[in-house]
Chains A and B, each alone.
Chain A
C-alpha cells in the first residue's frame, strides 16, 4: 500500500540551519499546479504545465511551503530529503 502521508522525518532538523534537498519526479506530475501555489519560489511549470524546480535546496525560510507542496501534490511526485 502506498500511503501518501507527508514525510516529516526531517522535522528534527528544522531550525538547525541545514538546507533540505527537494526532489521532483516529473514523469509522475499531472500538472495540478498545487506545488506552484504552495511554494512559488521553488516550483514553476514548463510550457506543458509540468512542474519544474527553480531551486533544489531549501532553507528554513521556505521549508514550510515546500512541506505543504509535498502534502498537496496529488501524484506523490515531490520529496524532501536530507542532502
Chain B
C-alpha cells in the first residue's frame, strides 16, 4: 500500500506541469494557454514550482473563492508548504499584514481601513482628476512619441499615494524618483534595495514627526497607533511601506496594460472616448480588471488543516495557488470570457483577490482607473501606439505583470 502511494506520488511528480507557464506569443493580454487547458480538465491540479515543490493550482472561479474565503488557508509565508516565488527580490520581504493571518491580520488591517472607505476615496476624486489632467497637459506640450508608462502610468499612483499618506509637496520629487527605482525592472537588486531603504527611512522620519505634531493624513493615523502603544515604530514603518508598494506598481501597470489593450481594441476604446457616462466608465474599469491580470503569479497560501474540495483532499501542510487571472476567464461565470466587452457586467471578478485579504486599496484603485480611462481618450482622441504591439516588451518575469514601456503618439 505504502509502495503504491509512493509510486503514485512519483508518477505525479513526473507529470506535474510547471508553473508559471508562458503566454502564447502575440497574445500578451491572455492567460497562458496551458492554464486554460488545466481549467478545462478540472478545478485543481498539482503543479511544479521552481524549487521542485508541488502545490495545488486552483484554476476555477468557484473553488478559488471558496479557498480564499477559508480560514484554514494561511497567507503566512513561513508556514510549511507555502509556495514561494522564484527569487527574493526587493520589497518581497515579510511585509506587514498582507502575509499574516487573523486575528493579527484583522487587528492591523483595521488600523488603516478608514481612508479607503468608498466615500472618503470619492472625496479625493477632484485631486486625482487634477493630477491626471496635469500629466496630460505635460504630454500634449512635450515631444512625440512619448512613453506612456514613464510620463503617465507611473506618476499617477505615486502622486496619489503621496496625497493619501500625507507626503509634503517638497518631497514629491524624491519620493517619485525612489518609487520609480523600486519598480524599475532594469534596476539592479542593489539599486532597488537602496531605494526601498531610503523610502523606508523617509517614512520612519515622517512618522516620528507626526508623533509630536499630528496632521490630518494617513501617516498621522498610523503614528497615533504607535503613541497608543498598539504598534511598534518598526511595524508602523512596515505598514506605510506596504501601502506604498501594494498601491504603486499594481495601479501603474493596470493603467499601462489597460491603455495598450484598448489601443488594440479600437471599437472598445471608442466607447470610452465618446461617453461622459460615469456608469459606462465604471463598468469599463471592472471589465479591464477582469480581462487583464497583473498579479499573474496567483494568490499563494499554505493549508493548515485538511480541506475537502471538488472531490479531493488538500492536506495540511500543502500549498495552494489561486490563479485569479484564469478564474476571471472561467466560462462557468463569464460568458464568452476571452472577449473584451466594456459593457458587460464584470463586477464579480477576482482581480482584487477574495476573502479577508481582498485588496484594501480597491476603492482607490477603481477611482484612479475611472479617472484615467474617463479622461485620457476624451482629451487625446487620436491617441495611437507609436510602435507595433509585437515590439512592446511585456513584464513576463516580473512579480507584477505589465508593460516596460508603451510609446504613444497622436
A75 to B114, CA, bound (A): 17
Q: From known contacts A74-B354, A74-B358, infer whether A4 and B65 are also in contact, taking CB-CB under 8 Å.
A: yes
**Could you say which of A4, A31, A50 contacts B69, with CB atoms under 8 Å apart?**
A4
Contact, CB under 8 Å: B347 / A38: yes
**Could you say which of B66, B116, B354 contacts A49, with CB atoms under 8 Å apart?**
B116
A22 at the interface (CB under 8 A from B): no
Contact, CB under 8 Å: B358 / A5: no
Nearest CB in chain B to that of A28: its residue: B356
B62 at the interface (CB under 8 A from A): yes
A48 to B111, CA, bound (A): 8
Pick the most buried of A5, A30, A37, A68: most chain B CB atoms within 10 A of its CB.
A30
Contact, CB under 8 Å: B347 / A48: no
**Could you say which of A5, A44, A49, A74 contacts B355, with CB atoms under 8 Å apart?**
A74
Q: From known contacts A33-B118, A74-B353, infer whether A48 and B69 are also in contact, taking CB-CB under 8 Å.
A: no
Contact, CB under 8 Å: B110 / A1: no
Nearest CB in chain B to that of A31: its residue: B113
Q: From known contacts A1-B308, A5-B62, infer whether A48 and B114 are also in contact, taking CB-CB under 8 Å.
A: yes
A60 to B342, CA, bound (A): 27
Chain B: interface residue total (CB-CB under 8 A):
34
**Could you say which of A3, A5, A36, A48 contacts B113, with CB atoms under 8 Å apart?**
A48
Chain A's nearest CB lies how many Å from the CB of B242? 15
B360 at the interface (CB under 8 A from A): yes
Contact, CB under 8 Å: B307 / A1: yes
Fill in one digit per residue for B168-183: 1 if any A CB lies within 8 Å of its CB, else 0: 0000000000000000
**Could you say which of B66, B116, B307 contacts A31, with CB atoms under 8 Å apart?**
B116
Chain B's nearest CB lies how many Å from the CB of A66? 14
Task: Give the residues in chain B near A34, CB-CB below 8 Å.
Answer: 362
Task: Give the residues in chain A near B348, CB-CB below 8 Å.
Answer: 71-72
A78 at the interface (CB under 8 A from B): no
Q: A1-B66, A72-B347 are in contact. List 8 more A-B contacts (CB 8 A).
A: A1-B308, A30-B106, A30-B113, A30-B356, A33-B117, A33-B118, A48-B110, A48-B113
Q: Which residues of A contact B (CB under 8 A)?
A: 1-5, 30-34, 36-38, 44-45, 47-50, 68, 71-72, 74-76
